[in-house]
Structure 1
Amino acid sequence: MNTANQELSLYSEHIQEAADYVRSRLGSYKPVIGLILGSGLGDLGDQIENAVYIPYHEIPHFPQSTVEGHAGRFVIGKLEGKDVMIMQGRFHYYEGYSMHQIVLPVYVMSSLGVHSLVITNACGGLNPAFHAGDLMLITDHLNFTGDSPLIGPNDASIGVRFPDMSSAYDREYRELALRLAADIQGEDGSPLLLQQGVYAGTTGPTYSTGAEYKMLTLLGSDVVGMSTVAEVIAASHAGQRVLGISCVTDMAVADELEPLTHEQVVKVANRTKPKFISLVRAFVREV
């Protein structure tokens, strides 16, 4: 067996061993919907009924979440009557992990029967029509990470060698979210307005420069962040349907930049949580 095939075999074993461990902790739960919660959005995991908590450090081959605002565990239980599996915290390229490590949880969830993923993130707004605190449905993405979790030998038991990405962000799921948002009221009593647009995924961990923001805008990006893209590629590879939701925590308009910290990002995400949680709960109930 050559080196590439050995690495593929080892990665497949890691997926199976991690899935087997999580399965041993599920009890009667059979999760069909998975949720990946970004910075400042993890509180939804605290609303799961009869929850089973599995810290990442207990799961074979799992990396550890090192970012503030990421609890670093699976939460499994009932949400709106559905068996769900929530990632309270994710892994990022900028933490030093490989793309294969970053998407390991996606493949584990798929192995456990999860067919739909709600993938969320905190991001910077590039579209001048957006405002800090907006929620945006992701319609498509631009991959500026310079990498892909599918580089290397392909495991045909997971997905095809060249997965189609033309509908990586499920159109029917977006339409459902838009309909549901009409029945969700904001703090001022008005219906929840969902933006829609393209997510640009970068490596981080620095926030982009003014020139980089200009470039991203010219290339068609509406928001920019440091996650999500690899997970969506893996989900598409595994045949999962994806709803992507970005929380705009700051405006990254090139000519109006001000210093930004992670604490500010989490603060705005916290303020946005009530409408975010209402939308996700409604989506889980109806999907």
Structure 2
Amino acid sequence: MNESATHAENVRLAAAKITAALGDLRPRIALILGSGLGGLARRVENPVTLAYRDLPGFPVLTVAGHAGQLIVGTLGGVPVIVLNGRKHFYETADAYPLKTMIRAVQAAGVDTLFLSNAAGSLRPSIGVSELMLITDHINFMGLNPLVGPNDEAFGPRFFSVTDAWDPGLRAKIKTVAQETNITLHEGVYVAFRGPSFETPAEIRMVQAWGGDAVGMSSVPDCLIARHCGLKVAGISCITNMGAGLSAENLTHAHTLENAGKGAAAFERLVLAAVKVL
């Protein structure tokens, strides 16, 4: 069996396991939790937890702050699938595990993917521990997860990403933020591959391009999801200012700490948003 056929079989088998875990639930939304934002998983009611290692083709995670669990249940009474952690492209060049994860939840009935990440701010007006609604992205990773043979069973060879971050979903999230008195900025997310943080010169470059936040994830997730027809929304939790914009020392521990500070507002926003998405 070739690599593409193995992937398709993994998607089928993983989707079957997820569907079995759902029981009578029929979730239409899946959430991928970024670094330091895994606490939302504890808010899932009547959870059924599947380890990624038990789902064929799912990623094996190695980074702190990513639990590697798929959880089905409800948030505020709304059926959901929560994906607690992701594989980053600074860990691997293999896109298949991320494609399997996203395509499997789509095959299990999901039509909306809600992404979250920890990110660095490029604007003084977007402060640490605040939230930013992603309006668009710039892919500076030097890769696209859909490079290689295209499987028409999942999506077309060429597809538009003009509205990659769904305008209708964004409008609903903005309304929810206003109703719940949560500060929610809007902006363009710039994705670097990492694992090193960006240099001050690179930060100045992406500021000039119109970027508002920078990170190492979410763009591949968005592209895979749009390719297979999922609607996508995303939130960045700002954990630091970009390199050269403050005196802070950038570390992953620092990222997790500040993500935790913004997690309460993130959880409040998501709990309210899933009811209207």
TM-score range, shorter chain: over 0.9
**Contact 2:165–2:232 (CA under 8 A) maintained in structure 1:** yes
Conserved 8 A contact 1:210-1:257: no
- Counterpart residue identity of residue 29, structure 1: L
State yes or no: 1:243 paired with 2:233. yes
Q: Distance in 2 between matches of 1:209 and 1:252?
A: 8
2-side partners of 1:141 and 1:99: how far apart? 19
Partners of 1:61 and 1:159 lie apart in 2 by 19
State how far apart, in whole Å, the 1-side matches of 2:246 and 2:88 are. 28
| Count of residues in correspondence between the two structures | 277
TM-superposed CA distance for 1:126, in Å, is: 0.7
- TM-score for the superposition, normalised by structure 1: 0.92
The residue number in structure 1 matching 2:214 is: 224
How far apart, CA to CA, are the structure 2 residues paired with 1:166 and 1:241?
12
RMSD in angstroms over aligned alpha carbons?
Answer: 1.5
Cα-to-partner distance string for 1:199-257 (whole Å, 9 max, x where unaligned): 01111111111111111111111111010000000110111111110001001153535
**CA contact 2:58–2:98 (8 Å) conserved in 1:** no
Gaps of 5+ in 1: 185-190
Q: What's the CA shift for 1:31?
A: 2.0
Between the aligned partners of 1:245 and 1:120, the Cα distance in structure 2 is 5
> Unaligned stretches of 5+ in structure 2?
none
CA distance in 1, matches of 2:179, 2:15: 37
| TM, length-normalised to structure 2 | 0.96
Match of 1:66 among 58, 62, 66: 62
1:187-226 correspondence runs (5 A) = 191-226=181-216
d(CA) in 1 for partners of 2:7 and 2:50? 21
Match of 1:140 in 2: 136
- Indicate which of 255, 272, 276 corresponds to 1:282: 272
Matching residue of 1:39: 35
Could you report, residue by residue, the CA deviation over 1:61-106 in whole angstroms, capped at 9, with x for unpaired residues? 2221111111110010111222100011111111225122223211
Partner of 1:9: 5
Q: 1:156 aligns with which of 152, 155, 162?
A: 152
For 2:63, what is the secondary structure of its paired residue? coil
Q: Secondary structure at the match of 1:94?
A: coil
Deviations 1:135-159 (A, max 9, x none): 0000110111111111112111211
Q: Which residue of 2 aligns with 1:234?
A: 224
Q: 3-state SS of the aligned residue for 1:123?
A: strand
Structure-2 residue corresponding to 1:92: 88
Instruction: Output the CA distance in 1 between the equivalents of 2:127 and 2:158.
Output: 37
Counterpart residue number, 2:77: 81
